[in-house]
Amino acid sequence: MRHAITKVASVLIVLVLVLGGVAGYFVLVRPGMGTTAVATSKISASSIPATYAGIGDPFTSSELASINGQPLSNYQTAGEMLLNGSIANTVALGRANHYQPLVVNGKPSVVVLQAISCSDCAMNRWAQALSLAAFGNFTALYVGYSASGTNHVTTLYWGQDNYTAAQGVTFGSSYASKYLNFYAVDYDSPVITGGFQWTTLAYLAQHAPNSTWQAVTAFMENASNALGNKAPPTDTQLWGSSVWFGGIAVILGNSTSVTGTAAPVSHLSHESALAQISGFSDQYAWSNYAAADVYIAGVCPSLTGPPPVCSLPAIVSLEGRV
- Residue 6's contacts (CB-CB under 8 Å, 6 or more residues apart) are 39
- Classify residue 283: in a domain, yes or no: no
CA Rg value for the chain: 18
Picking from 245, 255, 104, 119, the residue whose alpha carbon sits closest to that of residue 191 is 119
pLDDT at site 230: 85
The candidate with the shortest Cα–Cα distance to 167, out of 11, 321, 26, is: 26
In a domain, 322, yes or no: no
Instruction: Convert the pLDDT of each residue in 255-300 to its tens digit.
Output: 655 444 445 666 688 999 999 999 999 999 999 999 999 999 999 9
Rounded to two decimals, the pTM is 0.86
Residue type, 312: L
With contact defined as beta carbons under 8 Å apart, do 237 and 219 qualify?
no
pLDDT at position 11, please?
29
Query: How many angstroms separate the Cα of 95 from the Cα of each of 30, 91, 92, 99, 244?
Result: 31, 11, 7, 13, 7
Backbone phi and psi for residue 298, each to the nearest 5 degrees, phi listed first = -75, -30
Residue stretches of the chain with pLDDT short of 50: 1-41, 258-262
Write out the chain in H/E/C secondary structure: CCCCCCCCCCCCEEEEEEECCEEEEEEECCCCCCCCCCCCCCCCHHHCCHHHCCCCCECCHHHHHCCCCCCHHHHHHHHHHHHCCCCCCEECCCCCEECCCCEECCEEEEEEEEECCCHHHHHHHHHHHHHHHCCEEEEECEEEECCHHHCCCEEEECCCCCCCCCCEEEECCEEEECCCEEEEEEEECCCCCCCCCCCCHHHHHHCCCCHHHHHHHHHHHHHHHHCCCCCCCCCEEEECCEEEECCCEECCCCCCCCECCECHHHHCCHHHHHHHHHHCCCHHHHHHHHHHHHHHHHHHHHCCCCCHHHHCHHHHHHCCCC
In a domain, 296, yes or no: no
User: Does a structural domain hold residue 240?
Assistant: yes
- Predicted confidence at residue 99, as pLDDT, reads 97
Q: What is the pLDDT of residue 266?
A: 62
- Please report, in angstroms and rounded to a whole number, the separation of the first and last CA atoms in the chain: 40
Give me the amino acid identity at 141: L
* Residues spanned by the domain of 196: 13-34+53-71+98-258
Cα dihedral across residues 132, 122, 290, 243: positive or negative: negative
Total structural domains in the chain? 1
Q: How many residues does the chain have?
A: 322
Answer for the pair 93, 321: CB distance below 8 angstroms, yes or no: yes
For residue 45, what pLDDT is reported? 62
Q: Return the pLDDT at 48.
A: 87
Tell me if 44 is assigned to some domain.
Answer: no
107 lies in a domain? yes
User: What is the rounded distance in angstroms from the CA atom of residue 90 to the CA atom of residue 100?
Assistant: 27
With respect to residue 39, please indicate whether it lies within any of the assigned structural domains: no
Domain-embedded: residue 289? no
